[in-house]
Amino acid sequence: MDISFGIGSKAAHLRDLLTRPRVARLAGARDALTARLVERAGFDGIWASSFELSATQALPDLSLLGMSELLTVSVSIDVATELPMLADCDTGFGGRANIAHMIRRYEAAGVAGVCIEDKVFPKRNSFVDEGQVLEDIDEFAARIELAKGSQQRADFVVVARVEAFVAGMGVDEVLRRANAYADAGADAVLIHSKRNGPEEIRAFLSRWQRRRPVVVVPTTYPHWTADQAAAEGVSMVIYANQTLRASVRATQEVLAAISAADGSAPVEGEITPIKEIFDLVDMTTWTAMDEQPAGGGPKPRLAS
């Protein structure tokens, strides 16, 4: 990774992903190493999920982590790759002033864009069955307008996440909210659903008229491919939590095998070799820095 990329370039890249003809694919990363794996797998960008970041701290996704905690981790994720990152900022960490502060801090840190959702604070994860309470539509539209007015550069992206389907409301309410947030200046709308199929999303898309790019998170309808979503008007698909879930399953299995065998011999052939981890973290490049003559040689370029 070239650590000298220009300020704003990742935001411009994220904006391009939302508006280009080809669908963009983002994957969730809870830390810098996972982000490096996302990049190597060929995804277009990173999603810094509050669910994943909370779970990594052994906490539920209930607005327990504050802005500074999430921003610190998000920055470490962001600098690990050249991919643009869309940061999940829940409801914006409070009221209007909190949102303005959040926008300035995330933008100044080099994050390409943020996503905020129209629930009341503290929010509940969308897959919790009860307690999905939405913010007043006019109030949230005002927050989107304030968020866009608080950014310093035109390229920074603000995505408005509509949770009306999650709260059990119909497509008319989803459209009403999405249109209000588009009028307020949102660069894209994330339409969330936890149905086992894409029917709600497709109903929205059939009436949306493509006023803004649409982002979806097909956690509960994984058989709807990104290309199929794109054919109906989706611009970006986020695989938000699969890396965390894969890691937990693999770790459980390896630990169980070690415990059962009273040693790690049975799993050594199945887990990643240490040399591969060295490659992921650029060990050779970093150790070479100590061998350069003072004042000589080119600046190191870190391969991602």
Q: Tell which residue, 37, 21, 11, has the closest CA to residue 239.
A: 37
Do 204 and 280 fall into the same domain? no
Do 182 and 152 fall into the same domain? yes
The span from the CA of 144 to the CA of 121, in Å, is 15
Digit-by-digit pLDDT tens for the chain (304 residues) are 333 344 458 999 999 999 999 999 999 999 999 999 999 999 999 999 999 999 999 998 888 999 999 999 999 999 999 999 999 999 999 999 999 999 999 999 999 999 999 999 878 888 787 778 899 999 999 999 999 999 999 999 999 999 999 999 999 999 999 999 999 999 999 999 999 999 999 999 999 988 899 999 999 999 999 999 999 999 999 999 999 999 999 999 999 999 999 999 999 999 899 999 999 888 888 888 887 777 655 555 555 5
Concerning whether 279 is annotated as a catalytic residue, the answer is: no
Please give the backbone phi and psi of residue 236, each rounded to the nearest 5 degrees, phi first.
-145, 135
The two structure tokens encoding residue 1: 């990774």
Do 211 and 66 fall into the same domain? yes
Query: What are the residues facing 54 on neighbouring strands?
Result: none
Q: Which residues contact 165 (CB under 8 A, 6 or more apart)?
A: 171, 174, 191, 192, 193, 194, 195, 200
What domain range is 268 assigned to? 248-290
Q: Which residues contact 247 (CB under 8 A, 6 or more apart)?
A: 34
Q: Are 167 and 197 in contact, with CB atoms under 8 Å apart?
A: no
The per-residue pLDDT for 40 is 96
> Amino acid identity of 198?
P
Do 262 and 118 fall into the same domain? no
The span from the CA of 300 to the CA of 290, in Å, is 11
The two structure tokens encoding residue 83: 């991919």
The per-residue pLDDT for 247 is 96
Residue 191 is assigned to a structural domain of this protein = yes
Residue 217 is assigned to a structural domain of this protein = yes
From the candidates 61, 78, 88, 118, which is the catalytic residue?
61
> Amino acid identity of 272?
T
Do 93 and 189 fall into the same domain? yes
The two structure tokens encoding residue 20: 């280009």
Q: Are 74 and 28 in contact, with CB atoms under 8 Å apart?
A: no
Do 191 and 265 fall into the same domain? no
The span from the CA of 88 to the CA of 53, in Å, is 10
Question: Considering its fold, how many domains does the chain have in total?
Answer: 2
The per-residue pLDDT for 121 is 82
Do 215 and 199 fall into the same domain? yes
* Cα angle: 117, vertex 176, 184; to 5 degrees: 60
Residue 299 is assigned to a structural domain of this protein = no
Do 14 and 38 fall into the same domain? yes
Q: Which domain CATH number covers 95?
A: 3.20.20.60
Do 70 and 154 fall into the same domain? yes
- In sign, the C-alpha dihedral spanning 60, 197, 41, 77 is negative
The two structure tokens encoding residue 298: 């080119």
Residue 271 is assigned to a structural domain of this protein = yes
Cis peptide bond upstream of 213, omega within 30 = no
Do 191 and 57 fall into the same domain? yes
Do 229 and 278 fall into the same domain? no
* Helix residue ranges per DSSP H, the chain: 9-19, 32-40, 50-56, 67-78, 96-108, 137-150, 171-183, 199-208, 226-231, 242-261, 274-280, 283-288
